[in-house]
Each structure stands twice: as C-alpha cells, then as structure tokens.
C-alpha cells in the first residue's frame, strides 16, 4: 500500500480501470497512450499536463490533473471519492485545461 495526501492507495488492475474509463475517453484524453503504474494509470495529455487515476483503499478512485516541467510535478486539481461509473467523465474533465 502507498500513502499520499492522507489517502491510502492500493494495487490496481489497470485493464479493468482502463475499461471503466472507457476506450473512447482514453483516446480523447491521451490519444490512446497510457502509463501503467502499480496503483493506477497515467494518461499524458499535452504540454506537460497529465491525468493520473489511482485506486484508493475505500474502492473509489482519486483523479488528478498534474503538470510537470524539469522533473518537478505539480498537482493542479484533485478529485477524490470518484466511483467506477464516474471515473471516465471525471478523467475527461481533468484532461481539460479549465480551472473550475
């Protein structure tokens, strides 16, 4: 288990996660590119932005919009307690550059 931002992250079945996000959402967010991680996936967007989706211990997802430059990563926005049926919509929303 991994702890981050006071949430406990657990190992994730990434194929199931990608199916829950949806093939068309993955294509719209990152052109079909993704990076498998132990606790979830990273979907690279553009210009240093990415969307990370991680499985929390309470069986919900944590979705983050991140920005990286010169090896440093900034979390721009975080959505917590995202259920499986909402993860595709929230991940797509995170890929948009709007600060809502």
31 three-class SS: coil
Backbone angles phi, psi at 31, to 5 degrees: 70, 20
Residue 3 predicted with pLDDT over 50: no
Q: What is the pTM of this model?
A: 0.89
Alpha carbons 58 and 94: distance in angstroms, whole number:
21
10 in a structural domain: yes
Query: Quick one: average pLDDT of 67-91?
Result: 95
Q: Which residues of 48-58 are buried (b: 16+ CB within 10 A; e: fewer)?
A: ebbbbbbbbee
Q: Cα(46)–Cα(96) distance, rounded to whole angstroms? A: 10
The average pLDDT across 29-49 equals 95
Domain count, the chain: 1
Question: Confidence band (pLDDT; 50, 70, 90) for 7?
Answer: confident
Please check whether residue 100 lies inside any domain of the structure.
no
Q: Cα separation of 55 and 65, whole Å? A: 15
**Does residue 48 belong to any structural domain of this protein?**
yes
Asked whether the predicted pLDDT for residue 85 surpasses 70, the reply is yes
pLDDT at 5: 57
17 inside domain? yes
For 81, the domain range is 2-95
pLDDT at 4 over 70: no
Place of tokens 């969307």: 51
């Amino acid at each position: 288990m991994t702890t981050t931002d006071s949430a406990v992250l657990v190992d994730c079945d990434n194929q199931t996660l990608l199916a829950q996000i949806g093939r068309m959402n993955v294509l719209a967010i990152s052109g079909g590119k993704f990076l498998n991680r132990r606790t979830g996936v990273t979907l690279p967007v553009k210009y240093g932005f990415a969307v990370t989706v991680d499985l929390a211990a309470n069986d919900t997802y944590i979705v983050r919009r991140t920005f990286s430059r010169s090896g440093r990563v900034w979390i721009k926005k975080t959505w917590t307690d995202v259920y499986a049926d909402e993860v595709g919509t929230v991940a797509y929303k995170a890929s948009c550059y709007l600060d809502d």
